[in-house]
Amino acid sequence: MIHHKSFALPRDLRGWGSVLACAVAVLALAWAIPVRFFISHGQPLWLDETWTGAIAAQPSFAAVVRQAWLDVNAPLYYGVMHLWAQAFGVSNAALRLPSALFGAAAPLLIVFARGTGLALPLRLTWAALLALWTQGIYLSGEARGYTLLLLLCTASALAYMRLVAAPTLGRAAIWCGLSALAVLTHYHALILAGLQGLAYLAWRRQAALRTWPAALLFLPAFAWLAVHLPRIAEFMRPGVAWYPILNERRLERALAFPLGPPSMLPWLGGVLAVGVVVAAGTLWMIRRGRRARAQDSLAAWATFGLALVGAAAILAMGFVRPSFTDRYLVPFTPALLLGLTLLAGRIGRGTSLLLIPVAVVFAWAAVPFADTQVREGWRWYNWEVASRDLMRGRPERLVFVWDHPASPVLARDQLEMIGGFFFRRAGAPVEVLPLVLDARSNPNPRVAEALRAPRAALIWAYDRGVIGTAARRFAPRLDSLDPSLICRNYGSGSIGVLACDRVGSVKTTAKP
């Protein structure tokens, strides 16, 4: 005989407010996760994605390691993509699919996590916020390592909460392993891991000393960093580092990044103000011993607080040296959204205000999906379309110019690799002649001279918004030096992708 107790709801789901919060979160997940798989459909690979494809297509793993060392980014994503490309190729769809998979896995990981001290309604709300995070949707459509980083930092946050709640060597090893992988995906994750490690040592001193062997899992990351640091230093030299120093306008955009699009920025002041009040109230409740019925945990609040400190440190460094772009906040975003979830749950505990998590989820979902198309539009900083058109003229030489302040520190084969990637992928090999420009002198005569060879073609890519770009001072004027050249600029705004040859393969009125 089956007793009625068999049908009792789990304790986490008792109360109509909690059930509704979970239902809304599940619907949000059901909508937001599939979006990732078609967000970039039909879009060409832009500059950074071309780097991914070119490194993934290397003939051997040793070649991938060399290119990863030559690059300024951490190596793990390139290694993963090389293995992926061996099985699925380097088409646009194949290169972007892992990002969508990683982006979809991160919120689902939160849903099924156990031992974190978070009740199911809060886990579902947190997962929904991460799934609906607009920037995360954008990143899921790019062949770059940011959603892998998002997944690893989400897993690391969950592992850290489990570790500080009940320290064991196994849990410490899981957290250390995930954090080390995150560092090997993006070096800014080291700041987050360092803060979490120091807090663990201070908070659980005896357990930290007992579980210290787990820290050995960081050795591969530190070993690679030691090898890679001299190369990174070359990119950080004055005149090479291309990110501008943070200012008030860029800071506003950076603060909006974890919240979604800039339209969410007005929420920030209110969220921070209420957060201070709730944090103070939480500390008071802890001191008074009134946490028996809490749906969250001190470990979760600590994870949020450490991410907030880490994000602030990244922003502070951005004011001192050109080292910051919005995407560098990705390692901290899962825990920052956890803080918003905890805030909503703490305000509404025990009353009909449990609907506050529902309202927060709705606020995220209300960001128009059209915002994606408005903000992203056509990926203008690409030479995939220009390469495709130039192939019709069957050039024997491709003069390739990546007009950028970092070009002088790149190896010649790096420029050859990215300049000719689309030709090689299409089975149309061409000799690639890379040119590195001097931003202080007019580059037009030098580029025109390189194009005098028979059956030569040109791709000259630049961004006038970047200081140190030659085209910023000297606009391309090749037609005045060589009237036989037929050119077309595939860029828009500050972005320029100038393609030229003498057979008119770029002479078309079709939209790129």
**Cβ contact 152:182 at 8 Å:** yes
Q: Which residues does the chain have with pLDDT short of 70?
A: 1-18, 20-21, 259-296, 346-378, 508-512
Query: E strand or H helix at 311, and its extent?
Result: helix 298-320
Q: 294-350: per-residue pLDDT in tens?
A: 455 789 999 999 999 999 999 999 898 887 888 999 999 999 999 888 877 766 554
| Model pLDDT, residue 200 | 95
Place of tokens 């080292």: 323
Predicted TM-score (pTM) of this structure? 0.88
Cα separation, 171 vs 162, whole angstroms: 7
Contact indicator for 347, 340 with CB cutoff of 8 Å = no
- Residues 270 and 253: their CA atoms lie apart, in Å, by 17
Each residue of 178-201: pLDDT tens digit?
A: 999 999 999 999 999 999 999 999
Backbone angles phi, psi at 342, to 5 degrees: -60, -40
Domain boundaries, the chain: 4-375, 384-501
> Dihedrals φ, ψ of 321, to 5°?
-145, 160
- The CA distance from 145 to 52, in Å, is 9
Classify 25 as helix, strand or coil: helix
Q: How many helices (H) and strands (E) does the chain have?
A: 24, 5
C-beta of residue 295 within 8 angstroms of C-beta of residue 118: yes
Concatenated DSSP letters of 428-493 = ---EEEEE---TTS--HHHHHHHTTSTTEEEEEEEETTSTT-HHHHS---HHHH-TT-EEEE---T
350 touches 16 (CB < 8 A): no
pLDDT attached to residue 291: 43
CA torsion sign for 71, 76, 82, 85 is negative
Residue 9 has a pLDDT of 38
Which has the closest alpha carbon to 234: 412, 72, 415?
72
Residue 239: predicted pLDDT: 79
